[in-house]
Chain A
Amino acid sequence: MRETARVQVVEPGLSTVQDLGRADGPRSGQMAGGALDQYSARMANTLVAGDPDAALLELVALDFAATTDADLLVAVTGADADVTVDGHPQPQWEPVVWRAGTRLAVRRIRSGLRVYLSVHGTFHTRRLLGSCAPDTVLGFGAPLDGDAVLTVAVDCPPVVQPWFDIPFFRLGARPHPYSGRWNVDLTDGPDVGEFGPTAARLVATDYVVGDRSNHIGLRLRRADRGPLPGREVATEVLSRGVPVGAVEVPDGDELLVLHRGRGVTAGYPVLAVVTSVGLSRLGQARPGETVRFRHVTCAAAIADYRRQQAHLAEIRTRVQTVYTSLGIPLHFTDRHFTDRHGHPHRTSTTPSATELQESA
């Protein structure tokens, strides 16, 4: 068994090594950053028995291809795409065997913008404040170029897949619901009162994602060109911490929804805040696509988020069962895991990768 796999990027597209972001960034004034679709990134890692915040690749919009010099178990989540290994179609949202010497390609990314590619193993990455997430403002991390070689510490035994074109795993991870429009929930922001009745203009109408949208924030204009919410008071706002998901109206013709690359403090009133579940969907919204906001309570938003986390936990349990039966090591560590009721998982029920190797 090899200890290090070398992944040679052949066609980088627009790809970066990512994780869930820099949890310790905001307290020192730095963006959290990390995968814009946190749900798909978490699921990709879960499918390869990794911690949710393990490093993985984020592929944005453009075709990607790479070769490996060792057998790898990988998973591809996020937006729909044509995923192939040496030309053979592979499923998304399930683990896939990527054989040594073959080429994995992700092409025609659609119904979304970002694809996540996780690997069973550990990417060797440079970290800042505990995270490998690129920070475009600080100048940390960079998109992969056409010569990039990624090294991955691996401990997976050969996985024999006798019928090459037949999907090997059926774990049942669910993709985002997408029906030609992104339905995104939001809650009232702490400053909603400053907008009076105009706050209602946020919901029940279509917004179109603008071209200047990026990981710092999405800019949205009304599809019908109708008026935006407007602030009804003119007092100056002291700079305050702003959450990821904050909806602001900095000028007359576009809303700004801050995403994970946002500056952590700003002197703008917060009209609304996109929910945790909604933010993952917005991370998939392309310029030109339509977004429809729906107003929910914080309690409903939390319940929705916990359902999503419970689904991740459910898939994790299936991964654990299936991988254990196949002798594939698990790389989960317990500090990240909560069960479907939101309680931290007990250590004793999860054999560590080392224990599995020792018992094998």
Chain B
Amino acid sequence: MSTALDISDCGDAAVRVTCRTTDREQAWHVVHALSGWLDERRHDHHLRGAIATYDAVLVEFDAALTDHDAVRGLVRAAVAGSRPRSIRAPRHFDIPVVYGGDHGPDLARVAEQQGIDVDRVVAIHTEQALVMRCFGAPAGAPMLDGPRFPLPVPRLASPRAAVPAGSVAVAGRQAVVSARQAPGGWCVIGRTPRTLVDVDRDPPAAFAPGDTFRFFPIRAAEWSAYEGRLDA
């Protein structure tokens, strides 16, 4: 792997590894492969875990047993050796969505901003599978690539105090499905009846970065037929 990495101290028990490249796709592959490689070896090297997002990995460790230099060495060994690969095969999820109305209060706003009609917004949002890039807050929501709208989607001027779980939202060139109710400034265009993160099962979520999500429209009357856990 010829990619340049910056490794910064991030408190007494973590380092932040940042991939320096203008190729965002490559950066994402590098940091997720690295986090997978480190995660597999976490017990041998006193690591607490590795959290990869877009171009960075936070590597947390047990400061009683190892330190920044040792973890730096491990990261360099990972990238100097054979290219680390993620071991998990990607999963695919189909997500039923009720678009517009109370379920998607910003659908018309997004259509107007994009200069297309509401049906076209839904068509673009459902036309292709979107890649999950990382977990987001709160509760490990899947952060997805954005659908191919003509323009980036601006955030709301004033965020909502409470966006319900299951809300399907877009902003910039990104998309998300809310895992739990929370304040939010993204444009909510629909809502899924599926439960993404379920504390009655362990692990509570079936998805991980690299998985793909494809949305499909359902009618509000069909809501209860689609309730339940999200499975691949």
A residues near B (Cβ < 8 Å) are 23-24, 26-30, 127-129, 135, 137-140, 187-190, 238-243, 245-246, 263-266, 270, 273-276, 298, 301-302, 305-306, 309, 338, 342, 344
Contacts and interface: CB of A to CB of B under 8 A. Distances in A.
Given A139-B199, A305-B64, A306-B64, A238 B11 contact: no
Interface of B: 8-14, 16, 35, 39, 48-58, 60, 63-65, 67-68, 134-141, 143, 179-180, 182, 197, 199, 202-205, 208
A148 to B, nearest CB: 19
Contacts of A302: 12, 63, 67
B211 to A, nearest CB: 12
A265 B134 contact: yes
A27 B64 contact: no
A30 B52 contact: no
Nearest to A130: B202
A301 B16 contact: no
B10 A273 contact: yes
A187 B52 contact: no
B89 to A, nearest CB: 17
A128 B203 CA distance: 7
Nearest to A245: B11
A24 B64 CA distance: 19
Given A128-B202, A306-B64, A275 B11 contact: yes
A275 B12 contact: yes
A79 to B, nearest CB: 24
6 contacts: A26-B51, A28-B203, A129-B203, A187-B11, A243-B13, A342-B65
A298 B138 contact: no
A240 B180 CA distance: 20
Contacts of B54: 238-240
A342 B65 CA distance: 6
B64 A187 contact: no
Contacts of A306: 63-64
Contact of A342 (B48, B49, B64, B179): B64
A340 to B, nearest CB: 10
Contact of A23 (B9, B13, B49, B204): B49
A276 B14 CA distance: 11
A139 B136 contact: no
Nearest to B140: A29
A139 B14 CA distance: 28
B139 A241 contact: no
Nearest to B165: A139
Given A189-B10, A245-B11, A298 B199 contact: no
Contacts of A270: 10
Residue of A187, A243, A301, A309 most packed against chain B (CB within 10 A): A243
Contacts of A29: 135-137, 139-141, 179, 205
Nearest to B55: A238
Contacts of A239: 53-54, 134, 136, 143
A306 to B, nearest CB: 6
Contacts of A242: 58
Contacts of A264: 51, 135, 137, 140
Given A187-B9, A240-B56, A241-B16, A137 B138 contact: yes
B56 A138 contact: no
Contacts of B138: 137, 263
A251 B53 CA distance: 24
B11 A189 contact: yes
Contacts of A263: 136-138
A190 B8 contact: yes
A264 to B, nearest CB: 5
B9 A188 contact: yes
Contacts of A245: 11
The 8 closest A-B pairs by CB, nearest first: A29-B140, A263-B137, A29-B135, A241-B58, A273-B11, A241-B51, A301-B12, A190-B8
Contacts of B60: 26, 243
B203 to A, nearest CB: 6
B12 A137 contact: no
Residue of A140, A263, A338 most packed against chain B (CB within 10 A): A263
